[in-house]
Amino acid sequence: MRVLVSGGAGYIGSHTVIRLVEAGHDVVVVDDFSNAKPTVVGRLEALTGRPIPVHAIDLTDTDKTEHLFAHEQIDAVIHFAGFKAVGESVAKPLAYYQNNLDSTFSLLRAMDRHDVRTLVFSSSATVYGAEPELPMTEDLPTSATNPYGWTKVMIEQILSDVAASDDRWRIAALRYFNPVGAHASGDIGEDPSGIPNNLMPFVAQVAVGRREQLSVFGDDYDTVDGTGVRDYIHVDDLAAGHVAALDTVGSRAEPMSVWNLGTGQGVSVLQVIKAFERASGRPIPYEIAPRRAGDIAASYADPARANADLGWRATKTIDDMCADTWRWQSKNPNGYPDA
């Protein structure tokens, strides 16, 4: 298949591009580079040995999106593009809703006009809301605690209604747990702009000397050691899950499918720190800070449905994740170069 990857220059998108090419698919990337560096593309081409066509457009521009579909022969879409910073979404909710929903509307319209009705959407475990049952199964009710999360909840609902309205659609929403790690080469990885919001890139920046110490937000949760527990999943496992979903969704009886992509294992903040110290051989100084508003004690998937339906399973351990993150971080201490 010739697969359009929106947000294909981003963290998860870029790793999925590699897995798609390895699986024999052709890839076209669309990215507005508002939160990704164009230099990613050269690295993808070097790693895959293929030219990667790139359209540097904003999907909310309906004319440009239409033009893209008119000029590229697309068979399916994996839709990663979207604003994703939780804190910024609270400060600028309208920008988040407008960008994430309008880009999806524009994409769906162009797909429908050009008879492309196979879509894999980048959702998130954040749709399980503030007080989820554990482990999280796909049938739990959805909600959110911030506008970023609500855009995921809303887009899932919209996709479900679109799929129900026309049986030619085959749509999958993939609910990611906590993606970390990097490509085994160390040439592709997570390159957050500004202060990282997530634990692993922050730890990696401490290890490499870009930041002095880590704040651990809360050590009095009801967990194994009091710190927050998350289901970290290696981004390469996650990328493989996208390829599996893409290869499966077209032959499903149901027009809309939802799959958790996680390991099913909870790992605490202190366990991540210890694993990263082992992987990097460096100490990770940290201090205990107050809990952050909106954080939950523990989050981990029940990945049984994806395991069964997709023949997919996350295989990499927290030590693999830290080793690959460290390789990327030490090879690229300041992330991707500008040019």
Which positions touch a second copy (CB under 8 A)? 90-94, 97-98, 101-102, 105, 108-109, 112, 147, 150, 154, 157-158, 161-162, 164-165
N-to-C CA span, the chain: 31
What is the smallest separation between the CB atom of 66 and a second copy, expressed in angstroms? 14
Smallest CA-to-CA distance from 98 within 119, 82, 122 is with: 82
> Is the Cβ of residue 111 or residue 246 nearer to a second copy in the bound state?
111
Q: Which of 11, 148, 221, 336 is catalytic?
A: 148
What is the smallest separation between the CB atom of 147 and a second copy, expressed in angstroms? 5
Report helix, strand or coil for 179.
strand
What is the smallest separation between the CB atom of 144 and a second copy, expressed in angstroms? 8
What is the smallest separation between the CB atom of 230 and a second copy, expressed in angstroms? 25
Calpha distance 215→222 (Å, rounded)? 19
> Is the Cβ of residue 285 or residue 294 nearer to a second copy in the bound state?
294
Is the separation of the CB atoms in 233 and 180 below 8 Å?
yes
C-alpha dihedral sign at 276, 277, 283, 288: positive
> Is the Cβ of residue 162 or residue 306 nearer to a second copy in the bound state?
162
Residue 223: partners with Cβ closer than 8 Å, 6 or more residues away: 229, 266, 268, 297, 298
Return the structure tokens found at 35.
Answer: 């939160």
Is the separation of the CB atoms in 138 and 156 below 8 Å?
no
148 counts as catalytic:
yes
| Angle between the N-to-C axes of helices 147-165 and 93-113, in degrees from 0 to 180, rounded to the nearest 10 | 20
Return the structure tokens found at 279.
Answer: 């992987």
> Is the Cβ of residue 63 or residue 287 nearer to a second copy in the bound state?
63
Q: Which helix (H) or strand (E) holds 142?
A: none
Is the separation of the CB atoms in 177 and 301 below 8 Å?
yes
> Is the Cβ of residue 157 or residue 193 nearer to a second copy in the bound state?
157
What is the smallest separation between the CB atom of 213 and a second copy, expressed in angstroms? 31
Catalytic sites, residue numbers:
148
